[in-house]
Amino acid sequence: MEKLYAPWRTEYVSTNKEKIEGCVFCHIATNPLEEDELGVLYANDDFFIVMNKYPYSPGHIMIIPNYHTDKLEDLDPAIWVNMNLYAQKAVSLLKDVLKAQGMNIGMNIGQIGGAGIAEHIHLHLVPRWMGDTNFITSIANTRVYSSDFNKIYKSLKKEAPKYFK
């Protein structure tokens, strides 16, 4: 059996860490004093921008409305528009700070749509680089994450105020 060391997942599988009860996104929205621990890059009255703790690629962030809903159609259109305006700013942040060469942006709505947290809609921004996926994803159903979460968070957090005004 092949083994892949994945230290970034230690917190997720640890039984010593207290699990968040209820909606993790609502927890983030209502606990601004835990901003750094939770990976928040920016927050306002309508939404927040947070690093994905279990990313598809280094620097994967999400824009999440403070309003708890699993239906995009129930979200206030003004909040949706503003989230998308900040998505543009977030793309610039990821390109400038992480030197991302491309970007995947999207939503998985509902469990059938592929959402890992289906009860609260969220917009994914996934930075991409030439060659960022390789054969291991195809043959071993495994993704290698080559960067340290905290190092990326600190880099993005330091520069975020320049982008999110």
Q: What percent of the residues of the chain are helix, what percent strand, and what percent coil, each to the nearest 5?
A: 40, 15, 45
**Residue 59 and residue 156 in contact, taking contact as beta carbons nearer than 8 Å:** yes
Q: What is the DSSP string of 16-58?
A: SSPPPPS-HHHHHHT-GGGHHHHTEEEE-SSEEEEE-SS-SST
**Residue 86 and residue 45 in contact, taking contact as beta carbons nearer than 8 Å:** no
Active site (annotated) includes residue 122: yes
Catalytic position from the list 60, 120, 122, 124: 122
Residue whose structure tokens are 């054969």: 135
Give the residue numbers marked as catalytic. 122
